Amino acid sequence: MYYAAKLTEEKCTGCKICIMSCPDPNVIAFVCASKKVKIDEGRCKGCGLCVSVCPKDALNVSQL
Ligand code: SF4
Ligand code: SF4
């Protein structure tokens, strides 16, 4: 089974806290156009660190 972080865009305020929490700095990227983050699900390890730090409950780890 493969798990990855998923974003609920409506909840994301673009604070970028999750980007700093991720062990791989290239998996979560800030998108200037939307002012929200984007998860590279193919490279996410599913560790859940970003989920634990998001103040808006905008992230969860689920099975792909
Ligand atoms: S920590 Fe949460 S609210 Fe902040 S940018 Fe990441 S997903 Fe969005
Ligand atoms: S689950 Fe882990 S590897 Fe995936 S985006 Fe969140 S912090 Fe990064």
- What SS3 string covers the chain? CCEEEEECHHHCCCCCHHHHHCCCCCCEEEECCCCEEEECCCCCCCCCHHHHHCCCCCEEEEEC
CATH number, domain of 41, equals 3.30.70.20
Q: For residue 39, give its domain range.
A: 3-63
Residue 64 confidence (pLDDT) above 90: no
R_g of the chain, CA atoms, integer Å:
10
Ligand nearest to the CA of 15: 1
* Confidence label for 57 from pLDDT (cuts 50, 70 and 90): very high
The total of structural domains in the chain comes to 1
pTM for the whole thing? Answer: 0.95
Residue 54 Cβ contacting ligand 1 at under 6 Å:
yes
pLDDT tens, position by position, 2-56: 999 999 999 999 999 999 999 998 999 999 999 999 999 999 999 999 999 999 9
pLDDT at 1: 82
pLDDT at 59: 98
Residue 51 Cβ contacting ligand 1 at under 6 Å:
no
Cα four-point dihedral sign 24, 38, 12, 5: negative
